[in-house]
Amino acid sequence: MLSDNAAIATVAVKNLETAKNFYEDKLGLTKVMENAEVLAFKTGGSILFVYRSQYAGTNKATAVTFVAEEVDDLVRTLKSRGVTFEHYDLPKMTGRRMSTWPAR
């Protein structure tokens, strides 16, 4: 039933202006919509929907995953823009997670 419809990643934030700066200026996403309570950004063939919520920052799980091939170059660029990362090692996998999300 829904397999022909697009899914949109949705992220709650406390401050939309901080989120706008993070997603647009630091991550380089293209803003496609903005109003007093919601931002939307184009990312690849998808949309990232960012909305103001009093519950922002309470999720301890992954909220959005970006897929990239040139990870080391991407990490260098994001670090130069002030994005910090947490590193973790799992069996057969090393990962990075951006930790300066605007919800915090």
Query: Using one digit for the tens of pLDDT, what is the confidence trace for 62-91?
Result: 777 777 788 888 889 999 999 988 777 666
Tell which wins on pLDDT, 16 or 100. Answer: 16
Is the residue at 94 inside a domain?
yes
Is the residue at 3 inside a domain?
no
Which of 5, 11, 15, 6 minimizes the C-alpha distance to 64? 11
Is residue 47 predicted with pLDDT exceeding 60?
Answer: yes
Residue 18 burial by CB count (10 A; 0-12/13-18/19+): exposed, middle or buried?
middle
Beta strands in the chain (DSSP E): 9-13, 30-34, 38-43, 46-52, 85-90, 93-98
> What pLDDT is stored for residue 41 in this prediction?
97
Is the residue at 16 inside a domain?
yes
Domain that holds residue 20: 9-54+64-98
Helices (H), the chain: 16-20, 71-80
Report residue 104's pLDDT band, with 50, 70 and 90 as the boundaries. Answer: very low
Give how many domains the chain has, as a whole number: 1
Distance CA 63, CA 53 (A): 14
Structure tokens at 87: 């590193």
Is residue 25 predicted with pLDDT exceeding 50?
Answer: yes
For range 49-69, the mean pLDDT: 83
Is the residue at 104 inside a domain?
no
